[in-house]
Structure 1
């Protein structure tokens, strides 16, 4: 059972309402409001502290919409985190996106359970290798470090950290 009530927008204080409006007017907005208007997923918790929630959601927007990671690489890494953290919400939110990008049910299952996954694209294989190493041990050996460029590695480590944070919040608030 959820621990955090989805507060309808008309019950939010002005600071939280401004953040609510920012989230729902952006590219993720159409997915984030429930039938009564309250935010779903991790965005509801962000309203608890707009000074922290706003930069956090901005980081997520930068990762999703402004990084150099391809859509497939991004969703691959997100689903590695979701599988490792057993985050049902993140899987439910991102598996449909991955399907639209051409991931098969067998590939999605491998991402859910961490089983071996062969990918045709060497760049995607590198992202998979690095993302799995990051969630498993929180670090990279020299070989893992060398498979991506530094900018891509910075963006990927940020993505893994961000989605790990969301998975923690989703678990604690029972979303």
Structure 2
């Protein structure tokens, strides 16, 4: 059971309402609103502290829509984090996207349970590095050199962002 009540937009204080409007006006908006108008998933918790919530959702928008990671690399890494943290919300949100990008049911299952997965070399590097990040929070020298520094920066940021969301989803029972 959720610990955090979904607040309809008409009950929000002005700063939270402004953040609500910003989230729902963006590309994620249509998917994050429940039938009563409340935000679903981690976005509802962001309304608790509009300054922090806005910075967090802006970071999410940057890693989702403005990084150089390919769509497949991004969804692969998100699903590694979701699998590691057993985040049902993130799996439900991102597995359909991954399917649309050509991931098979067997590949999605391997991402859920952390079993071996064979992918093209560039995606295998993303998978291996993302798995190392969630498992150990660090990379050895070989893992570090598998990606360019910009790609590695963007990947570590994405993994950290989705790990934060997984933590908030778990704590608030969202």
- TM-score, with length taken from structure 1: 0.99
Residues 75-133 of structure 1: CA deviation (Å, up to 9, x unaligned): 000000000000000000000000000000000000000000001x2110000010000
For residues 20 and 77 of structure 2, the distance between their equivalents in structure 1, rounded to whole angstroms, comes to 27
C-alpha distance after superposition, 1:57-89 (max 9, x if no partner): 000000000000000000000000000000000
Superposed structure 1 runs of 4+ greater than 4 Å apart: none
Match of 1:149 in 2: 148
Q: What are the residue-to-residue correspondences of 1:50-89 with 2, within 5 Å? A: 50-89=50-89
Q: Give the equivalent residue in structure 2 for 1:137.
A: 136
Shift of 1:154: 0.1
* SS of residue matched to 1:118: coil
C-alpha RMSD of the superposition: 0.3
For the residues of structure 2 that align with 1:152 and 1:122, how far apart are their CA atoms? 15
Question: TM-score under structure 2 normalisation?
Answer: 1.00
CA displacement, residues 5-53 of structure 1 (integer Å, 9 cap, x when unaligned): 0000000000000000000000000000000000000000000000100
What number of residue pairs does the alignment pair up? 174
Structure 1 residue 161: deviation in Å? 0.2
Which structure 2 segments of 5+ residues have no match? none
CA–CA distance in structure 1, aligned partners of residues 79 and 107 of structure 2: 10
Question: Which whole-Å CA distance do the structure 2 matches of 1:102 and 1:23 have between them?
Answer: 28
